[in-house]
Amino acid sequence: MGHVEVGRLTYVLPDGRPLLNEVSFRIGEGVKAALVGPNGAGKTTLMRLIAGDVRPVEGSVASSGGLGVMRQFIGGIRDGRTVHELLLSVAPERVREAARKLEEAELVMMERDDEKAQLRYAQAITDYTDAGGYDIEVLWDTCTVAALGAPYDNVKYREVNTLSGGEQKRLVLEALLRGPDQTLLLDEPDNYLDVPGKQWLEQALRETPKTVLLVSHDRQLLANAADRIVTVESGGVWVHGGGFATYAEARRERNERLDELRRRWDEEHAKLKRLVTMLKQKAMYNDGMAPAYHAAQTRLRRFEEAGPPEVAPKDQKISMRLRGGRTGKRAVICEGLELTGLMKPFDLEVWYGERVAVLGSNGSGKSHFLRLVGGEDVRHTGVVRLGARVVPGHFAQTHARPELRGRTPCEIVMSEHAKLKNEAMKALARYELAGSIAEQRFETLSGGQQARLQILLLELSGATLLLLDEPTDNLDLASAEALQEGLDQFDGTVLAVTHDRWFAADFDRYLVFRADGRVEESTEPVWDEARVVRPR
């Protein structure tokens, strides 16, 4: 069994901004704890500190039982790594080190097959065996069959960038949950998973005896799988000992209690200062009052040195003013539409003002469909057209916006929407992207901050048809709720691909991309469509 203990951890960003201040908490054996908080509050940084990827200014981290880590971006998406290398990256350190030496020995053998090289190769094989390398490959076989539908030997040299995001996540999760490490750090493990995948993850988390600390923005997953909520906000951390169902009320009560303590402290502080001032005046003409004056000074000094109680964190005030505009009655028309190799032909009419959720398993063509409706060049047969005055605006699932890299949010809003700097800053402030965040480069923003900026750009674009591809994946809890409120006020049409069960409950219609290639409508969400595993 494992545990994690963080003691008085302090971290300062490379630009000198303090992020975490004397953070302390403990996750006991077998506990499933969720790390939540505003985007940019330091959740991923805290996970990296616990994993040892970065070093704190002060404080300590302790863990037991071996530490398995799924990072926010698991790698291999663009760098050409293989399935073998991806699995090895989440294996225990002793296996990784033995595998590295074995690979080096194999390269030497390819260059020169002499006795020294042979002995080195034989020793590397022995070390890899002793480290458990071949044993873990047997485990990986189970993982690849579960995640990819094929044995390990058949897929180990396959490039990871040929897998979907959901397949990558599922493969790494299988390896960590089945592996030897008893303490797991999972940074947004549910991103890219379809709902059957999320339900599998929820069940796996409930059943595993391992200790788990995870970051997630999926409110349904938090409600179903977490029995502790660790909140990162305002540079500190506090722990709610119950589940997500009681979290909002617990946070409200805590903030009210902190406000009351601060009010009392301010009152006592003012009272002591008045007393010191009064006694000082009396001591000026009555020497007998000097001891009382000095005693009051000492009391005030000690009171101030002890400091005020913690200030209650401010609630995020995100205001998404998605305006839209009146369009023709029929906003989207599809006739005999088929995306080549992904689905069977289907017809669809989406009317002005409707909210249509696009559901289905990973790999079924949902994102391609949104891109096609948005005007991108996607191979297809049949017809898709937009109604009168329909202006599409696309939110990309991957946040892959190379044109935004190297530019700050302020520069982006000013250049793309002809805004003066003060106008741009006001708009950014409504999305909690003002201040220092407005001057950071796009690629240095957190995933949630990038998502909020993309939504702001949609707002400013004047789009009357919102094409949202997994918009809540990286949004913190307050931002996801603000988006739902913004969509409620939006005067236009919404098509959204989502695996967020909480978010989908607000929609009018459901377009389901089924596992057998059929595309059908449903009046209720359909989450049980499992991807058909094709022979590899």
Under 8 Å between Cβ of 454 and 401:
yes
pLDDT tens digits for 132-164?
Answer: 899 999 999 999 999 999 999 999 999 988 887
pLDDT of residue 117: 84
Task: Band the pLDDT of 531: cuts 50, 70, 90.
Answer: very low
pLDDT value at 528 more than 90: no
pLDDT value at 419 more than 70: yes
pLDDT tens digits for 325-344?
Answer: 999 999 999 999 999 888 89
- What span, in angstroms and rounded, lies between the C-alpha atoms of 488 and 486? 5
pTM for the model: 0.80
- What span, in angstroms and rounded, lies between the C-alpha atoms of 39 and 444? 13
pLDDT of residue 536: 38
Task: Band the pLDDT of 398: cuts 50, 70, 90.
Answer: low
pLDDT tens digits for 348-381?
Answer: 999 999 999 999 877 788 989 999 999 999 999 9
Encoded tokens for 414: 């000013």
**Residue range 85-100: mean pLDDT, rounded:** 92
Q: What share of the chain in percent tops pLDDT 90?
A: 68
Under 8 Å between Cβ of 395 and 468:
yes
Q: What share of the chain in percent tops pLDDT 70?
A: 97
- What span, in angstroms and rounded, lies between the C-alpha atoms of 31 and 352? 47
pLDDT of residue 75: 56
pLDDT tens digits for 33-47?
Answer: 999 998 888 999 999
pLDDT of residue 532: 41
pLDDT tens digits for 420-443?
Answer: 889 999 999 999 998 888 999 998
pLDDT of residue 435: 86
pLDDT value at 451 more than 70: yes
pLDDT value at 70 more than 60: yes
Under 8 Å between Cβ of 410 and 438:
yes
pLDDT tens digits for 497-513?
Answer: 998 999 999 999 999 99
pLDDT of residue 336: 96
Nearest to 184 by CA among 197, 195, 173: 173
Q: Is 97 in a helix, a strand, or coil?
A: helix
pLDDT value at 19 more than 70: yes
pLDDT value at 534 more than 60: no
In Å, what is the CA distance from 238 to each residue of 10, 233, 234?
15, 9, 11
Task: Band the pLDDT of 533: cuts 50, 70, 90.
Answer: very low
pLDDT of residue 83: 94
Q: Is the dihedral of CA 78, 84, 87, 91 positive or negative?
A: negative
pLDDT of residue 208: 96
